[in-house]
Structure 1
């Protein structure tokens, strides 16, 4: 058995009065990898991936404001605000020139940062993170089109959280109930930031053309790892990236939205093979 050399550290940094939590592992001299989590999760969703990769990469995984262990802002949470805060966080810890793994809500945060600082992005790893209308299911379009706070609050119910983890997977018994239980804990503890973000999601779709222009202009080396059973972001959303990034490496997995739950080893191996080539 190979013994992992590096320890994962659990840290906080102040960003404009917000106590932002992040996980850090690996040698600072190693290639940098930024992991941006999705909804309704936090950086804990990457804990197993960090264990897989921390001896090869310098890994940073923050909790977005209002998620996980990070403070919630006193102002309404928007995706622009998340991106502003994560941008300042990266400057505060002097973490630039990285490969960026984006998933779900992490994609609109990450693409905002990429369009502001294309020089920071060495490569992209996109896992069920949409930037094209092709990939939006009817469920996703209903979510995006909603403007009713009560409907947004209803979407935070346990049955919805569990659905996100289990729909489209190969083997539901392989998915630990700890996943949706922990996410539900944070949702019940602080629902308002997630309600705010649900009501702001339409702002991401409005930016799709800008993000696509960034991809066409800068052509970052890109690895796409996609759960094709995702009920929210459909397979055409993964393939749409190839219009602007014809050299991207596309891998489809027979699993759901949280593809790492069933395909951790395969995705970790793809990352190990991909990043050293860029």
Structure 2
């Protein structure tokens, strides 16, 4: 017997002048657990297509694109910072009428998601953390070098523009993957398509220059985790060249009951380990939703 296939709709919501694109699965169960999927750099909600297909028949999965990413369109004068990404995502959540969900945070999704959690702890039924760093321990030397750049750093503009090329985008998918031919080229090709659109590289550069604001909030987020102790599932590509395995283990200092799974892959773990991650999320969501 074939497994049920997810029905997914693709819609837009207007939030503070931003036309936010999102994907949403339509499960048959009216009481299905809700999962908010927050994507990473340099990607967008399309990175979750496989997960939505795998779980969307039984769970309500919602994945927005941030301003500066994917199909979302922001005004020319939009200020690209992590605070503003969180503002728009918060408004998106409120417009959808969501008041409780399991939050999946990946890469940029961690600083966006933890800002939302600070503002609305009552919304968070649980956390799924997949290479979403929140600890200095988890920053590789390469990450520290990149994130130390400021607009005043000599050569900073050129260094960041090099990060936004096709070769580097592809490298984020393949580095640390034992069998690279398991990674479909669609992901990095679509990411680069959006990066190459007018204004997008400037938007991502502004966000990378603002990343220091996330590191400065790490202690606050750790305190939030200790205070609220959300049920947490950590699925982490152990060979991520940017956010290392130490960042995954560091969560256990503040969440000793968190469930940790280190996977033999790189940054975009869903590309190679969807078959392992999806059942873990389903089981976790069922428990966290009760």
TM-score > 0.5 by shorter chain? yes
Deviation, structure 1 residue 5: 5.0
Deviation, structure 1 residue 6: 4.1
Counterpart check, 1:234 vs 2:244: yes
1:71-116 deviations in Å (ceiling 9; x for gaps): 1342330000000000000001112200000000011000000011
Corresponding residue of 1:165? 173
Say which of 103, 108, 131 aligns to 2:106: 103
In the superposition, the TM-score normalised over structure 2's length comes to 0.94
Corresponding residue of 1:11? 11
* Long gaps (5+) in structure 1: none
User: Distance between the aligned counterparts of 1:138 and 1:154, measured in 2?
Assistant: 17
Segments of 4+ in structure 1 off by > 3 A? none
Say which of 13, 26, 35 aligns to 1:33: 35
Aligned Cα root-mean-square deviation (Å): 1.1
Say which of 177, 183, 186 aligns to 1:175: 183
Match of 1:4, SS?
A: coil
Counterpart check, 1:269 vs 2:279: yes
Alignment of 1:54-133 (within 5 A): 54-73=56-75, 74-133=77-136
User: Distance between the aligned counterparts of 2:70 and 2:271, measured in 1?
Assistant: 19
Corresponding residue of 2:233? 223
Match of 2:10, SS?
A: strand
* Long gaps (5+) in structure 2: 151-155
- Judge which range, 173-182 or 12-21, deviates more: 173-182
Match of 1:51, SS?
A: helix
Deviation, structure 1 residue 142: 1.1
Match of 2:216, SS?
A: helix
User: Distance between the aligned counterparts of 2:74 and 2:209, measured in 1?
Assistant: 16
1:249-271 deviations in Å (ceiling 9; x for gaps): 00000000000011001100101
Deviation, structure 1 residue 2: 2.2
Deviation, structure 1 residue 3: 4.2
Please tell me whether the aligned partners of residues 152 and 199 of structure 1 are also in contact (alpha carbons under 8 angstroms).
Answer: no
- Number of residues of Structure 1 aligned to a counterpart in Structure 2: 278
Match of 1:104, SS?
A: coil
User: Distance between the aligned counterparts of 2:84 and 2:233, measured in 1?
Assistant: 27
